[in-house]
Amino acid sequence: MNQAESINQALYRNIKSGQQYAHLMPYSNCSSTKLTTGDTKAAIDNMAIWSKKYQNHTKNIAVTFAGKSTKETAISIHSFLYHHFQYKIDGLNQELRSPACSWASRQNGIDCKSYSIFASTILLNLGIHHFLRRIKQSATAGYSHVYVIVPKNQKNPKNLKSGYYTIDGTLAGIKEPDFYQKSDVFMSAKTNNHGLAGAAKPKHLQKQQSKGGQAAGTWQGELVKGLFETLKPVLDAAVQGLVEHLFGCPEPQYELPIIKLRIERDFKVKLEKELDDLDSAILYNNRPRIQHILNNILKELDLGIAHLKSEAAYNGNHQCIGKTLAISLKYIGDIKNIFDKIFESFIKSNGRYSVDVFTKTATSSDRLWYFVVGNADNPVNAEYRFVVLRKAKSKYGIEPVLPYGEGDETFKEISNKWLSDNKNHLRINYGDGREINYQKEIRPLIDEIEELRKQVYLGGHSLYWFEQPKQLKMYKIWIKYDTKYTDFLIKEAKSLRTANELMVRDYQKRLKFEISKDKSIKKRKSLKNKIGIGAGIAAASLLIIKI
């Protein structure tokens, strides 16, 4: 055992599972790990770049730390890092992990630099200025340790006279380690675009912050939370239940490690990404994008479940594969069922669009997501749903974001009418001339979008990603000038989400009961190992699968 291994053995500590945070972190196979050779001096030069480059990895988990004081935020981030990431020093290779890679590696262990990068990205997403600090711990030693400090004075963060808070995931406490010499790199945080801590509130809502921070009732909480995001707790519980209760089979495609990897990477992560994009498109009222994403999700779920049902029936007499597919159908079917409920609620309650639902037929091999059964395994013809969204009159009467045209309308006709309607709304409702400043701010964005839409070679998908930042700017400008619109959003969001969250709660209770009831599967697996395959199979036959 070398010196590094001996130290890591001594540093080992028990950490928490963190399962409740798993859906908030993107998947990583750590291919983005960047290596340098030498001590922390060689690495820290890249840490600031690394933090900003991969800031997006923690944009979702950062929400859980939002709405607190600077002190509470620093303490919470430190506690999260210390209790959810194993500490392991690097050898000669100095690894800079992206936050997603750190999350994937947390059981095996990460070093002080990766702790610091993770903390830094959360702080950047929260709009909190901070420093990356490296230290020498004696007169004869080189720089050997890195951590984060957060100035108490966020208005003048480069002045540390007021003190600072320390975030060092390698230590159990928040006391800064003793040092002989220090070197700091300042990390300036910009006001974020996701309604997290640090973003300015509309003045008439500044007193609505609750004890829970960014919770229901605050304008940030209402805008950050999305309609289809309410599916995620069921998605987490169902995937967890699935991977906990599968045995795996000798056949290569049904080996347990393969199923666990692919159900996370090629199903859960992909569905979460689509749900995030769908909520974003709904927020900006992007009808073509909403329709495209809904159709993609519906096709994947309908074809995937149909294929899974077919293969489960076909392999019903196969002791191992049959049970694997039946258990998979049970849990993935729950995910589809709750999505369908939320989708139905969206159709009935959205108010912005009339939604027509049609059916089409395709082979199950046309899907791209993973449903335990392989895409090419005995494909079947199956029906899937296809939707067409038609614009309905807005409940509010105004669109904050420049819409796409209907029929033969030109861009000039669309944009001129939209701008005129919005200016009239501001003039009638406020009467203080704010529509003039609104036009000055919004006109350059209209021109930029016009140039983008001329570039038809981009295609719909690419055009959306180029246009999305400009749509977000339009949205924020409108909220700034039409303060009544925020109240409308909160009311609409609450009424629609309440029903969905009640459905989710009901599904969660049932899933919890089913998972608890199926815990005996672990005992049967142990029995199988101890007294032989015959007894194991006999015990496994007691499992009741409800579909």
Q: How far is CA 399 from the centre of its chain?
A: 27
Is 314 inside a domain boundary?
A: yes
Verify that 269 and 352 share a domain, yes or no.
Answer: yes
Q: Cβ distance 47 to 146 under 8 Å?
A: yes
The whole-angstrom separation of Cα 28 and Cα 101 is 5
Backbone phi and psi for residue 354, each to the nearest 5 degrees, phi listed first:
-90, 135
Nearest to 112 by CA among 128, 97, 100: 97
Is 501 inside a domain boundary?
A: no
In the chain the first and final C-alpha atoms are separated, in Å, by: 52
Amino acid at residue number 483: T
In terms of Cβ atoms closer than 10 Å to its own Cβ (0-12, 13-18, 19+), residue 390 is exposed
Is 331 inside a domain boundary?
A: yes
Q: Which residues contact 428 (CB under 8 A, 6 or more apart)?
A: none
Verify that 128 and 272 share a domain, yes or no.
Answer: no
CB atoms within 10 A of CB 260: 16
pLDDT exceeds 60 at position 154:
yes
User: Residue 36's beta-bridge partner residues?
Assistant: 94
Nearest to 384 by CA among 336, 421, 351: 336
Verify that 117 and 151 share a domain, yes or no.
Answer: yes
We report the CATH number of the domain holding residue 17 as 3.10.620
Residue 229 has what DSSP assignment?
A: G
Q: How many structural domains compose the chain?
A: 3
Q: What is the pLDDT of residues 212-240, one digit of tens each?
A: 333 333 333 333 345 677 777 778 888 88
Rounded average pLDDT over 401-419: 78
Is 195 inside a domain boundary?
A: no
Q: How far is CA 362 from the centre of its chain?
A: 30
Q: What is the pLDDT of residue 279?
A: 81
Nearest to 373 by CA among 319, 305, 316: 305
Verify that 356 and 234 share a domain, yes or no.
Answer: yes
Copy the structure tokens of residue 352: 């912005």
Verify that 379 and 282 share a domain, yes or no.
Answer: yes
The whole-angstrom separation of Cα 532 and Cα 250 is 16
**Which residue among 187, 210, 228 closes a domain?**
187
Nearest to 308 by CA among 237, 384, 377: 377
Q: What is the pLDDT of residue 500?
A: 53
Q: What angle do CA 320, 324, 327 make, to 5 degrees?
A: 140
pLDDT exceeds 90 at position 306:
yes
Verify that 259 and 387 share a domain, yes or no.
Answer: yes
pLDDT exceeds 90 at position 521:
no
Verify that 183 and 318 share a domain, yes or no.
Answer: no
Is 126 inside a domain boundary?
A: yes
Q: What percent of the chain has pLDDT over 90?
A: 30
Q: Cβ distance 508 to 287 under 8 Å?
A: no
Q: Which residues contact 38 (CB under 8 A, 6 or more apart)?
A: 94
| pLDDT class of 510 with cuts at 50, 70, 90 | low
Amino acid at residue number 39: D
Rounded average pLDDT over 512-523: 52
| pLDDT class of 326 with cuts at 50, 70, 90 | very high
Rounded average pLDDT over 391-399: 68
Verify that 178 and 238 share a domain, yes or no.
Answer: no
Nearest to 307 by CA among 288, 331, 282, 325: 325
Which H or E run includes 263?
Answer: helix 256-263
Is 504 inside a domain boundary?
A: no
Q: What is the pLDDT of residue 494?
A: 54
Verify that 243 and 156 share a domain, yes or no.
Answer: no
Average pLDDT value over all residues in the chain:
77
- Give the SS3 label for residue 358: strand
CB atoms within 10 A of CB 352: 18
Is 302 inside a domain boundary?
A: yes
List alpha helices for 385-482, DSSP H.
411-430, 434-454, 459-481
The whole-angstrom separation of Cα 13 and Cα 93 is 23
Verify that 225 and 132 share a domain, yes or no.
Answer: no
Verify that 264 and 354 share a domain, yes or no.
Answer: yes
Q: What is the pLDDT of residues 443-476, one digit of tens each?
A: 999 998 888 777 654 445 555 667 778 887 888 8
**Which residue among 187, 204, 239 closes a domain?**
187
Q: Cβ distance 342 to 297 under 8 Å?
A: no
The whole-angstrom separation of Cα 244 and Cα 234 is 15
Residue 391 has what DSSP assignment?
A: E
pLDDT exceeds 90 at position 414:
no
Verify that 377 and 235 share a domain, yes or no.
Answer: yes
| pLDDT class of 497 with cuts at 50, 70, 90 | low
| Alpha-carbon separation of residue 479 from 258, 401, 426, 430 (angstroms) | 47, 11, 11, 14
Torsion of CA 467, 473, 474, 476, to 10 degrees: 140
Ranges of beta strands (E only) in 193-242 are: none
Domain that holds residue 224: 218-394
Q: Which residues contact 152 (CB under 8 A, 6 or more apart)?
A: 70, 71, 162, 163, 164, 165
Among 239-253, 277-291, 294-308, 432-446, name the one with the lowest average pLDDT.
Answer: 277-291
Is 404 inside a domain boundary?
A: no
Residue showing tokens 């159990």: 172
CB atoms within 10 A of CB 206: 10
Measured over the CA atoms of residue 98, residue 103, residue 105 and residue 110, the dihedral's sign is positive
Residue 510 has what DSSP assignment?
A: H
Amino acid at residue number 264: E
Measured over the CA atoms of residue 187, residue 191, residue 196 and residue 199, the dihedral's sign is positive
Rounded average pLDDT over 326-343: 89
Residue showing tokens 């999350």: 103
**Which residue among 441, 462, 481 closes a domain?**
481
Global pTM?
Answer: 0.46
Question: Between these two residues, 212 and 379, which has the higher pLDDT value?
Answer: 379
| pLDDT class of 123 with cuts at 50, 70, 90 | very high
Beta strand pairing call for 93-96 and 34-37: antiparallel
